[in-house]
Amino acid sequence: MSDTTKQIKSWINENSLENVSNTPDFILAEAVHASLEVVQAAIKRRDEWYGVRLAPGLHPGEICPIYGRVLAALGVSIATHEDNLMAHIEHLKREAGIEHEYKARAEAAEKELALLKKEWNGEDDLVADYGRVLARARPELILVLETELWPNFILQAAALHIPVCVANGRISDRAYPRYRRCAGIFRAVLPAVRLWCVQSALDAERLRFLGARPEAIHPVGNLKFDCAAGAATVAAPAVPRRLRENLWLVCGSTHYPEEAYCARAYRELLPEFPQLRLLIAPRHPQRAASVAEMLSGLSLPPVLYSALRGDDSPSACDTAVVVLDQVGVLAALYAYAALVIIGGTFIAHGGQNPLEAAAWGRPIIYGPHMFNFRDIDRALRQDRAVIAVGGAADLAEELRRLLRDPVVRRDMGERARACLRQHQGAAQRTLAYIKNVLGKADDKTPAR
């Protein structure tokens, strides 16, 4: 067993993931390691294309806990395919060319992608012939995440008696009117889905209206609460010691022009809080250069995180503003935050996931637009674990109030962490329903 696999095995034990799938932890660790090799190769290729800087020396032992959602999906898929798991691992190794360096992996991935495109012909769901591929692959089950519903694909799978199951299903407020306009199509398609594990009772109600079979729909909660649980188990990335001792305002997953909103609020707070530091993490790291240029124009010259990592020089320790230009480290950097601002919420984007910050017990602020995280938003508000401001104009004043009162910040963060823990369990409930579909049911029916 490699050192990386041992690290993953240890992480699985710490998070009790073996209890989810009843699979020995060393098998889970090998599966995760093999799968993450594939993920890493794909991420590297994608980010090199966009010119994004990768974290130096990043390897699956670091990726694994950072991308906890990979484990959440594997926890379900592994448990439903235990008999074929080791063969699947070997297949991953062969297809990804794990014995070679990244170039060989990327070439293998490109060949596989070209073959898949040729065979799948999935550019247009209405004319695609999925049946030929599905008939050859004969999957035991098709698991769809959230609401990636391709009508032709679902109907062809059903014609081959391959059960289609939806995990973490939802119908957003924005999408629901569009679904209703196409209700005739969906009333012909949705009954073909064998199982709907959805996030809330409202999602269940909307699916029933659109034609899904009522007996197939189960509100189980949101998988994102389970995925975020591992965020606070990750060792925080190296930054200069004196920087760690400062008061950090971390703005996570921001979109244009939210970086300017955060920067202006920060500049307004500096006279009262000279020890305050700012870290901005654009949702798309390829925007880091333009964000840095904007900050310089506001007389807040930043340092890119890739140039700062582990640098204990005096100039690095005097850094006041940092722009994150690397993928895979934001969740761990929340460890240094005194306050967290969630991006995508001050524009009509619908928000970004606040739960990784909640896992660290950090106080969270966001704007009025959280419609893509409706249930998470409601849970955090009900537990007084977040502050939602009316807009960018209110941001500086709310930050000032919280910075003046460390006890309020601490209590908010603890309520956020408690809220996260309280709403976990969707992964186990989803897994139990999937086992029912496959005829591998446990004695107990999942309770909500």
Per-residue pLDDT tens over the stretch 93-102: 444 444 344 4
Closest to 27 measured CA to CA, from 68, 69, 87: 87
Query: Is pLDDT above 60 for 73?
Result: no
Q: Which residue has the higher pLDDT, 91 or 3?
A: 3
Q: What is the per-residue pLDDT for 60?
A: 36
Average pLDDT on 391-416 reads 97
What is the SS3 assignment for 388?
A: strand
Q: What pLDDT, in 10s, does the model give residues 246-286?
A: 899 999 999 999 999 999 999 999 999 999 999 999 999 99
Out of 140-144, 162-166, 327-331, give the one with best mean pLDDT. 162-166
Closest to 351 measured CA to CA, from 384, 375, 334: 375
- Report d(CA 96, CA 100) in Å as an integer: 9
If you search the block for the tokens 């008999």, which residue do you land on? 83
Say which range, 25-39, 107-121, 244-258, has the weakest mean pLDDT: 107-121
Q: What are phi and psi of 196, to 5 degrees?
A: -120, 110
Domain 236-422 has CATH 3.40.50.2000: yes
Q: What is the per-residue pLDDT for 21?
A: 47
Q: Is 40:394 a contact under the CB 8 Å cutoff?
A: no
Q: What CATH number has the domain spanning 121-221+425-448?
A: 3.40.50.2000
Q: What is the per-residue pLDDT for 410?
A: 97
Question: What is the rounded (10 degree) CA torsion for 270, 271, 276, 278?
Answer: 10
Average pLDDT on 306-312 reads 69
| DSSP symbol at 140 | S
In angstroms and rounded to an integer, the radius of gyration of the C-alpha atoms of the chain is 23
Confidence of residue 192 (pLDDT cuts 50, 70, 90): very high
**Percentage of the chain modeled with pLDDT above 70:** 65
Q: What pLDDT, in 10s, does the model give residues 215-252?
A: 999 999 999 998 887 777 666 666 666 667 789 999 99
Average pLDDT on 372-397 reads 96
- Report d(CA 412, CA 362) in Å as an integer: 7
Confidence of residue 38 (pLDDT cuts 50, 70, 90): low
- Report d(CA 255, CA 373) in Å as an integer: 16
User: What's the CA angle centered on 186, arms 185 and 189, to 5 degrees?
Assistant: 95
If you search the block for the tokens 């991935």, which residue do you land on? 109
Q: What is the per-residue pLDDT for 205?
A: 97
- Which residues fall within 8 angstroms of residue 392, CB to CB, at 6 or more apart? 258, 261, 265, 346, 367
Say which range, 11-25, 26-40, 295-309, 416-430, has the weakest mean pLDDT: 11-25
- Report d(CA 382, CA 173) in Å as an integer: 20
- Report d(CA 317, CA 245) in Å as an integer: 10
CA of 6: how far to CAs of 10, 233, 254, 407, in Å? Answer: 6, 16, 35, 39
Q: What is the residue type of 146? A: E
Q: Which residue spans of the chain are classified as CATH 3.40.50.2000?
A: 121-221+425-448, 236-422
β-pairing, 247-254 vs 276-282, is: parallel
